[in-house]
Structure 1
């Protein structure tokens, strides 16, 4: 086992392998899951407004739909800048596939960023729980959105989105549980995997993909 830590960001297969080695040492039950899935690919999205926008696009839609909507959205002039996004008409954004709710969510986030009330760079200085609390204090950002942002945009090594249905299903299968864990139970289960909870989430998302032969979330 390599004792030299990689970059704190989960931005390479080597970094993920490093965390998985320690994760399996913490919970040997995960060795069989890792043997089945292999090393998950790193998934790093842009930071700041583009990153949070991509996550909002992916909420409650299929992966294929999210990719198609994002592909059209990012071509809108100014869509990826909070100041310029506020200058877009709702009809323009809705035309690429946004719901009214998602248009408003991104508008609220953009307004908070422009006002200096929401600073994504500030997250780099915070531990996971504090970073989640900071994000969810802003209207339009729920726990799942905050946790997925921290994982896939900030590359945080110790986040587990316990409210993700794919993860709950994969954990039930991977650990051989009689019932799907509740969110509260999942939070407690995941504590065993700290400080490598993000690697655990990647592992179980990959297991879900293997189980269903499809991706669990928007990459």
Structure 2
């Protein structure tokens, strides 16, 4: 069965894409053999998924998770209309920055007004999704690409603005520098149409090296 254009929404598809990736670039095979099971890294769709992504920006995984759990305790079901019912100061009191609060309030208002339809995003091409999402105040390319790879499970997205991925691209390609976003995007074109699998593999490789060797950003 050909899985090339399938969303990476199951273990079967991810494994197929990883095998196709290392066939395309055999140099990644030794990395795949070291890392064990590569996580799917699926996120919730809609406002809830984007809220989790925005909450995690510039924070450690543990800090982001703790803050997001406290926010969810205030909001209840993580929907835009529910988020708008909670006072800004109450959200700030549980650790969310005002800039993130205002960003998500804007997203919630855009969803309610029909400016953005999260269900429709699944039917659009990646460039169309990027255009719609980055038109929202506070949503940049990184957030939009993370939404594409995790909540939509797009198979050929590589979030080139991600600092971990930049570091790992530099490492696996044996560069002396950490490539910036533009260069990372160019260097990873060769992994298309399996860039979603490549991103997951390199995130996992970073986690393995962090635990084994203490590597950090």
TM-score where L is the length of structure 2 = 0.92
Match of 1:150 in 2: 148
Is 1:184–2:182 an aligned residue pair? Answer: yes
Query: Deviation at 1:150?
Result: 0.9
SS in 1 for 2:202: helix
Conserved 8 A contact 1:16-1:39 = no
- Pairs within 5 Å for 1:46-65: 46-65=44-63
Partner Cα distance (1:145, 1:30) in 2: 26
Partner Cα distance (1:183, 1:200) in 2: 16
Conserved 8 A contact 1:135-1:141 = yes
Query: Deviation at 1:7?
Result: 8.3
Instruction: Choose from 205, 210, 213 the match for 1:212.
Output: 210
Query: Deviation at 1:135?
Result: 1.0
Partner Cα distance (1:77, 1:172) in 2: 40
Partner Cα distance (1:126, 1:25) in 2: 29
Is 1:82–2:80 an aligned residue pair? Answer: yes
* Structure 2 residues without counterparts, runs of 5 or longer: none
Conserved 8 A contact 2:4-2:193 = no
Is 1:135–2:113 an aligned residue pair? Answer: no
Q: Which has the higher helix share?
A: 2
Query: Deviation at 1:120?
Result: 1.3
Match of 1:94 in 2: 92
SS in 2 for 1:155: coil
Q: Tell me the alpha carbon deviations over residues 76-95 of structure 1, each in whole angstroms, 9 at most, x when there is no partner.
A: 14461111211211121112
Conserved 8 A contact 2:55-2:96 = yes
Question: How many matched pairs?
Answer: 213
Greater mean alpha carbon deviation, residues 38-47 or residues 51-60: 38-47
Query: Deviation at 1:128?
Result: 1.8
Q: Tell me the alpha carbon deviations over residues 25-46 of structure 1, each in whole angstroms, 9 at most, x when there is no partner.
A: 2212111211121331112121
Partner Cα distance (2:171, 2:3) in 1: 30
Is 1:109–2:107 an aligned residue pair? Answer: yes
SS in 1 for 2:160: coil
Conserved 8 A contact 1:172-1:178 = yes
Instruction: Choose from 31, 34, 56 the match for 1:33.
Output: 31
CA gap 1:79/1:97 in 2 versus in 1, 3 angstroms: farther
Partner Cα distance (1:74, 1:8) in 2: 31
